[in-house]
A and B are shown apart, each in its own frame.
Chain A
Amino acid sequence: MKKIILGMVFVFTTVTMVNAKTSEEMIENFEEIVLTKDCAQEVWDFGTGWDNGDPYWEWYWTDRYYSWCMEQ
């Protein structure tokens, strides 16, 4: 009986550890996806780093780059 209980605990622990590792991998992959898609810094640089300081122009270029970046 003790052996059966010990065996079940071992299996449960192993499965939990494997699941935890898979989740970590998933989270890492998810972060990669988010970072790839997150164009915020480039959007800001593209929108504000070139034109004449007019806030409408800055917003326009920011908006265009964001749309384009999301399509990539």
Chain B
Amino acid sequence: MYGTVIIKLNLADILVNGIHKISAFKLKNMNKYILVLILALILNFSYAQQSEGIVFYKKEYLNLRSSDKDFITKYKNNPDFIKKVEEIDLGTIEMLSQIQFELVYNSSESIFKAQDLLQLENNKFSGFAIGPEGSTVYYINQMENVNIQQIDAYGEVFLVKYPKTEWELINETKKIGKYTCYKAVTRYTVKGRKGIMKRSVEAWYCPEISIPYGPLGFSGLPGLIIELTAHNYKYYVSKIELNNEKEIVVKKPTKGKKVSKIEFEEIGIKTMNEFKKGY
């Protein structure tokens, strides 16, 4: 009881002294402190808004087989095959208008995949439209440095562990919609039947949107990847939903045989070589 009184007296003392100190501030200094406080609150609010949400992406093909000169020349003696490929390309373009990809993220994880795959399965062109990269589920955990891809291939499901993406930031900007975006490039290697091949990916990220994620498991840039180009396709943002009312759950894929990138490539090479022998 006695102790409590002492504390109360001390608090009262602090309060009185504090008021005296505050009254000693000049109005100009007060304004500075208030401004800093407001900015901190805005930044905190903005981060909270961007720390979880869903970003929707669309995909487009930059080149089509049936319009490729080399393809037409190579198969000029097989017009039936060219006709079939033309039909596939037309069906693919039509199908792509209905396909959307979603990037679901929170403060530490993200998952990227095609939306409603089951709904699209009935269409014979959906597989061509989604493509091999689009049918994969990409999981990223930045805190634990985890980069996993869940791939349904060769008659089974794999959980493939990939290394962290290393980016080269390029001093180049372009306006995409209302955002100023910056260019970044990453390079990687793929082991195939013909040996090791070098590949590159170009990303345009937006520092105004502080979400360090993007499509196809590409992440780690100081802003959301608005546009990503690789090989003959492009992914681009179609809609951003920040701070959803519903709770954002990023579910880490757990089903599948765990393999490394190299192991997965070796399985692929073996499968394709066996297929070649068989036909």
A residues in contact (CB < 8 Å) with B: 40-46, 48-62, 64-65, 67-69, 71-72
Q: From residue 90 to 135 of chain B, which have CB atoms closer than 8 A to chain A?
A: 124, 127-128, 131-133, 135
Q: For residue B273, give the distance in angstroms from its CB to the closest CB of chain A.
A: 9
Interface SS majority for chain A: helix
**Which residues of B are at the interface with A, using a C-beta cutoff of 8 A?**
65, 71, 74-75, 78, 81, 84-85, 88, 124, 127-128, 131-133, 135, 151, 153-154, 190-194, 197, 199, 231, 264-265, 267-269, 271-272, 275-276, 279
Asked whether A54 lies within 8 Å of B88 as measured between CB atoms, the reply is no
Out of A40, A41, A43, A55, which one reaches B193, CB within 8 Å? A55
Count of chain A to chain B residue pairs whose CB atoms are closer than 8 Å in the complex: 80
Q: How far is the CA of A57 from the CA of B194 in the complex (A)?
A: 14
Contact (Cβ within 8 A) B85 A60:
no
Contacts of A44 in B (CB 8 A): 275-276, 279
Kindly list chain B residues whose C-beta atoms are within 8 Å of the C-beta of A41: 279
Q: Provide the bound-state CA to CA distance between A43 and B276, in Å.
A: 10
Given contacts A55-B272, A58-B192, A60-B132, contact A49 B71 (CB under 8 A): yes
Provide a sorted-by-A list of 24 A–B residue pairs whose CB atoms are within 8 angstroms. Answer: A40-B279, A42-B81, A42-B84, A43-B279, A50-B71, A52-B190, A53-B190, A53-B194, A53-B197, A54-B192, A54-B268, A55-B191, A55-B193, A56-B132, A58-B192, A58-B193, A59-B154, A59-B271, A60-B131, A60-B135, A62-B272, A67-B124, A69-B84, A72-B84
Task: Assess whether B264 is in contact with A56, with CB atoms less than 8 Å apart.
Answer: yes
Of all chain A residues, the one with the shortest Cβ separation from B91 is A68
Tell whether, in the assembled complex, residue B71 and residue A62 are in contact, meaning their CB atoms are under 8 Å apart.
no
**Measured CA separation A14–B25 after assembly (Å):** 123
A17 to chain B, nearest CB (A): 37
